[in-house]
Structure 1
Amino acid sequence: IAGSVNIWSNLEFFWYLKQTDYQGYVTLDMFPFREDPFEACSLAVRMIQSLEEIVDQLDSQKIREYQQKNNAVGSFELLRRVVLERK
């Protein structure tokens, strides 16, 4: 299920899709052996939608500034506020 193991990598992936103005499609590569396939895919789609909503709330200019300065603390604090405090 999207984001169930590497949520930060998934969030970064969707952030870069937005930065590059990607207009293509994203697919799910899942094999829900133990779960109901419909429920698992539905949850994965909702997770992707949630990640996209978070990406829309991020200050991309500020993130790029932090990247240029190698400021991991600033980047992670920005993520913490948006993701965990939902501000």
Structure 2
Amino acid sequence: MSDLCLLGAAELVNLYRKKDVSPVEVTRAVLKRIEDLNPKLNAFCFLSQEAISNAEESEARWLRGEPKGLLDGVPVSIKDLILTKG
């Protein structure tokens, strides 16, 4: 399978739907890539401590066939000029 970090949202959702990959696997892959590359790139200033637990909740919803929405479990990054809560 391709590097999970390089797949688009539609591809990830299709894989979740077919149970070929899980939101937890994807989140772990993304966090690992950030860990490997961020010291050189300095692209991320904050990582959610709840990322894995949120992915676990998403995975449970996908396994029940009840995702919250079309992008449930797809990791996202937000530019730091966007105001966020927390």
For Structure 1 versus Structure 2, the TM-score category normalised by the shorter chain is 0.3 to 0.5
Larger Rg: 1
Relative to total residues, which structure has the larger helix share, 1 or 2? Answer: 1
